[in-house]
């Protein structure tokens, strides 16, 4: 998966999230009672998107790390580990930033529909993806 494709998908998800969040945010300002456990709110949607993007960063970072240690094939060329590291950095950072924004914007705790639990999870997963990507880049600079 190329960096352009990951960034295009992440950008489309963010733009689509903004378009979906506007009507929900207008309705949520009027709503005062807690929402149901299975109701998809804007906060829960944002935290879900951030967690998926952060998870893509973890997967890309794990694969790049495995390539750099020689556990799996070297891929298509010598730069594939660095490419995976950059994908992990971008996706992990995007997931962590969006997860942090969800946590910062939450006005209530777990169960209120603001997505705070998913935001914290996305923040942690995004930071793990960023760390894996950084580790691969540091190892590739030492080796090359």
The pLDDT assigned to 15 comes to 60
Neighbours of 3 (CB within 10 A): 15
The pLDDT assigned to 75 comes to 52
Domain layout of the chain by residue ranges: 3-23+41-143
List of the chain residues with pLDDT < 70? 1-34, 71-80, 143-144
The pLDDT assigned to 21 comes to 55
The pLDDT assigned to 99 comes to 94
Rounded Cα distance between 82 and 133, Å, is: 8
The pLDDT assigned to 120 comes to 93
Considering the entire predicted model, what is its pTM? 0.69
The pLDDT assigned to 71 comes to 65
């Amino acid at each position: 998966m190329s960096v352009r494709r990951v960034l295009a998908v992440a950008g489309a998800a963010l733009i689509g999230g903004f378009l979906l969040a506007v009507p929900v945010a207008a309705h949520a300002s009027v709503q005062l009672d807690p929402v149901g456990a299975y109701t998809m709110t804007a906060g829960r949607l944002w935290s879900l998107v951030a967690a998926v993007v952060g998870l893509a960063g973890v997967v890309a970072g794990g694969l790049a790390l495995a390539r750099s240690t020689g556990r799996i094939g070297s891929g298509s060329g010598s730069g594939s580990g660095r490419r995976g590291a950059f994908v992990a950095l971008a996706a992990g950072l995007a997931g962590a930033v969006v997860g942090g924004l969800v946590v910062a914007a939450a006005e209530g705790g777990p169960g209120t529909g603001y997505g705070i639990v998913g935001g914290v999870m996305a923040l942690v997963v995004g930071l793990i993806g960023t760390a894996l990507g950084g580790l691969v880049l540091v190892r590739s600079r030492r080796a090359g």
